[in-house]
Amino acid sequence: MNKKDIAEDFLVSTAKGDVRRVYESYVADDFFHHNPWFKGDRETLMLAMEDAAKEQPDVIFEVKLALEDGDYVSTHSHFRLNEDHIGMASTHIFRFRDDKIVEMWDYGQEIPENMVNENGMF
């Protein structure tokens, strides 16, 4: 698997609740992240992802674009709580070392019901 494939599997699988497998396979022991809602360590984010998957079992996560440059992968994705939810656009940036994720940034923007821009968000 290349880094893009790993990043995509990480995102889609964690959304579906396969968090432990993904962390064991792809996430370095010294991983850290920059999500402002959680402590920056590996364990805290992993547990939060497990809780989110249990609380929101119908999540749909579609990676629309993935770009790889050296040790970095960036994704642009559509995240929805369920089939009826309009969702949000999200961006993740991953830094890799030896094919393991060592650092992650994530950002999200809600999709407005009445969008002015005719090009959409994807």
Q: Would 122 be classed as within a structural domain?
A: no
Instruction: State which residues form the domain around 90.
Output: 3-110
Confidence of residue 103 (pLDDT cuts 50, 70, 90): very high
* 118 belongs to a structural domain: no
Return the axis-axis angle of helices 3-16 and 42-55, rounded to nearest 10°.
Answer: 50
In a domain, 31, yes or no: yes
Please report whether residue 88 resides in a domain. Answer: yes
The pLDDT value given to residue 6: 98
CATH code: domain of residue 47:
3.10.450.50
Inter-residue contact 105 to 36 (CB < 8 Å): no
Residue 65 belongs to a domain:
yes
Report pTM: 0.94
Does residue 121 sit within a domain? no
78 occurs within a structural domain: yes
Indicate the number of domains in the chain.
1
CB 113 within 8 A of CB 43: no
Asked if the structure places residue 120 within a domain, the reply is no
Round the average pLDDT of the chain to a whole number and report it.
Answer: 97
Query: Among residues of the chain, what percentage have pLDDT more than 90?
Result: 100
